[in-house]
Structure 1
Amino acid sequence: MTTFLQIITNGLMLGGLFAIVAIGLTLIFGIVKVVNFAHGEFLMVGMFLTWMITTRMGLHPFASVILVVPAMFVLGALTQRLLIQPLMGAEDDHVQIFATVGLSTALMNLALLTYGADIANTPTFGLRAPIELGPVRILTGQLYIFLAAIALVIALQLFLKNSQTGRAIRAVAQHRVAAELMGVNVPRIYILSFGLGAACVGLAAVLIAPLYPTSSNIGTYFVLTAFVVVVLGGLGSIPGAFFGAMVIGIVDSAAGYYIGSGLREAVVFGLFLVILILRPSGLFGKRMTLSHLS
């Protein structure tokens, strides 16, 4: 029984990690309707910024959130304004996707040019210390990530439901043309939304950096699962991304223990394909998307 509880706990902690990476991705898609294939490289940039601030200033990694999150917001806003926005009128929507793929490649090679292929290790400041919670054990940093994922979902939901800007964002997500006719500045909402999505992944980078080594390809490790989480939870659904991440985290943890670590990804993507065939809109795609918030 203790082993089973530990597997579930590990899965929930892993799900929190996947969720905090996926929330920014689903936020961007739910509003701008663009699949950002540079999302993993945004995470990589944020992790390198966290490493630089922590090692050169001697600060706790979490203190770098003051600089990393605004910097990532600016990066996301500039990406939307300078790269995506000029392509919004293109006849083929795939052009925008190819643009983000190009940005992904450019950022990855820029990181290689700047930092080389070496791995950067952010000081942990005790975030790898284990915590005993009854019969189970988790890392301090994992608990912070899980709690931060919950707080982020709640904060975004409150922002989208209760603020004037949030209502404008929901209007654009529901029907861009109608929102524009009602006086909403759609291009500005797109820039803001892309910036918020990048800021979310900046928060994820700050929390993840002390637990994982940073390298130029670290984003690929997380973003593939993040795409699975986003589709599983329903494209554009913030709560769906969270609960989808919990499902994937538990499945990943259980598969690693009962089947073998080498087959974990096969099981996760196999489950993803089954759910995609049975419910193409995802587990929460009909009920919990940004456009259906009330």
Structure 2
Amino acid sequence: MGSRLFQALADGVLGGGVYGLMAVGLTLIFGVLDIINIAQGILVVLGSYLSYVLWVHLHIDVFLGLLFTIPAMFVFGVTVQWFFIRPLRGRERTSMSLLASYSVAIIIEGVLYQVFGSNYQSIQTSYTTSTINVFGYYIPYIYLYGFGLAVLFVVAVYYMLYRTQFGRSVRATMQDQTAARLIGIDVNRVAAITFGIGVAVTAAGGMVYGSINSFNPNTGADLISRLLAIIILGGMGSIAGALGAAVIMITLESLVDVFWNPNWSVVVFYVVLVLVLTFRPQGILGRKEARAQ
């Protein structure tokens, strides 16, 4: 009983950190641009494929490969925002941005199918096969490193937001885009860079996810549904809330999987989401006030 409980808690907390890492970029984009990037799930998968190619074909260590994949995904994110999201204007901007990001997701998924096919792939490295013994339970190093990356990225984002000049511009844009323009902030530049950062995070999330799970181009659909549930539960736009919600939900899912029935773990995931939002619609760390546009 005790070992099973520890196993469930360890898998939940560390796995939740991985999902939190993937959700950080999505909630950052929403917090600044006030849009939901439906393409975030397939972008995580794209990050997995990039790490897969670097490791399998070029024999570059997956963590060293982040030095290539993170900048590449940042540039890709800036490009997507500049050409697909920035031109959207008017009262229908939010709904149109959903269609735009969905279109980007379909394009990426189609390209991945053409290049890699529909077969499942996985990134098998020493990080996935090597384990550490904690109280008799063997934990793969990739879980520990993934959780560490999640904490590192959250700290880095908070440092950027509260300790840099660009971060002050970001926070001003999050609060009121019109006022930000009036005081001389280039809102378009802030939006493009922030979107790029949000997409760049998926490079790390995709690498860790692909090292733990098998993936194919269709994996993005399942990922985006989970990531949306996590950021809604954590509070839309709350980075700490996203990480906390990910740990809570994946831990709960792990407990149900171990002590009840694996077939019910996903159901319980979404039932808890509905129950929490019934009593706290703004999420765990969300705020009730609306933001001016």
TM-score between the two structures when normalised by the length of structure 2: 0.94
Deviations 1:256-280 (A, max 9, x none): 1122111111000000011111111
Q: Secondary structure at the match of 1:268?
A: helix
Distance of 1:19 and 1:218 partners within structure 2 = 17
Q: Secondary structure at the match of 2:126?
A: coil
In structure 1, what is the equivalent of residue 8 of structure 2? 7
In structure 2, what is the equivalent of residue 61 of structure 1? 62
Stretch of structure 1 that moved more, 86-95 or 229-238: 86-95
Residues 1:175 and 2:176 are matched in the alignment = yes
In structure 1, what is the equivalent of residue 156 of structure 2? 155
Distance of 1:128 and 1:180 partners within structure 2 = 51
> How far apart are residue 207 of structure 1 and its match?
2.2
In structure 2, what is the equivalent of residue 144 of structure 1? 145
After superposition, where does 1:191-210 map in structure 2 within 5 Å?
Answer: 191-210=192-211
Q: Secondary structure at the match of 2:181?
A: helix
Distance of 2:123 and 2:138 partners within structure 1 = 23
The answer to whether the Cα contact below 8 Å between 1:62 and 1:207 also exists between their aligned partners in 2 is: no
Distance of 2:247 and 2:53 partners within structure 1 = 31
Distance of 1:172 and 1:155 partners within structure 2 = 19
Stretch of structure 1 that moved more, 199-208 or 86-95: 86-95
Residues 1:278 and 2:256 are matched in the alignment = no
Deviations 1:181-232 (A, max 9, x none): 1110000000001000001111111222222223111222322211111001
Deviations 1:154-205 (A, max 9, x none): 1111110000001100110011111111110000000001000001111111
In structure 2, what is the equivalent of residue 80 of structure 1? 81
The answer to whether the Cα contact below 8 Å between 1:28 and 1:35 also exists between their aligned partners in 2 is: yes
Amino acid at match of 1:47: S
Distance of 2:217 and 2:119 partners within structure 1 = 9
* Identity, % of aligned positions: 26
Amino acid at match of 1:228: A
Amino acid at match of 2:12: G
> How far apart are residue 90 of structure 1 and its match?
5.4
Distance of 2:155 and 2:250 partners within structure 1 = 20
Amino acid at match of 1:94: S
Q: Secondary structure at the match of 1:131?
A: strand
Amino acid at match of 1:18: Y
Residues 1:264 and 2:283 are matched in the alignment = no
Paired positions, count: 289
The answer to whether the Cα contact below 8 Å between 2:161 and 2:167 also exists between their aligned partners in 1 is: yes
Amino acid at match of 1:274: L
The answer to whether the Cα contact below 8 Å between 2:127 and 2:140 also exists between their aligned partners in 1 is: no
Distance of 2:138 and 2:127 partners within structure 1 = 15
The answer to whether the Cα contact below 8 Å between 2:4 and 2:258 also exists between their aligned partners in 1 is: no
Deviations 1:53-78 (A, max 9, x none): 11121121111101110111111111
Distance of 1:270 and 1:218 partners within structure 2 = 22
Distance of 1:85 and 1:213 partners within structure 2 = 34
> How far apart are residue 91 of structure 1 and its match?
3.5
Distance of 2:197 and 2:268 partners within structure 1 = 32
Deviations 1:22-67 (A, max 9, x none): 0010000010111000001111111111111111211211111011
Residues 1:99 and 2:72 are matched in the alignment = no
In structure 2, what is the equivalent of residue 19 of structure 1? 20
Distance of 1:17 and 1:56 partners within structure 2 = 25
Stretch of structure 1 that moved more, 220-229 or 141-150: 220-229
The answer to whether the Cα contact below 8 Å between 1:18 and 1:222 also exists between their aligned partners in 2 is: no
Residues 1:215 and 2:216 are matched in the alignment = yes
In structure 2, what is the equivalent of residue 48 of structure 1? 49
Check 1:91–1:268 CA distance in 2 against 1; reply closer, same or farther (3 A cut).
closer
In structure 1, what is the equivalent of residue 228 of structure 2? 227
Amino acid at match of 1:256: D
In structure 1, what is the equivalent of residue 249 of structure 2? 248
Gaps of 5+ in 2: none
Stretch of structure 1 that moved more, 59-68 or 130-139: 130-139
Q: Secondary structure at the match of 1:132?
A: strand
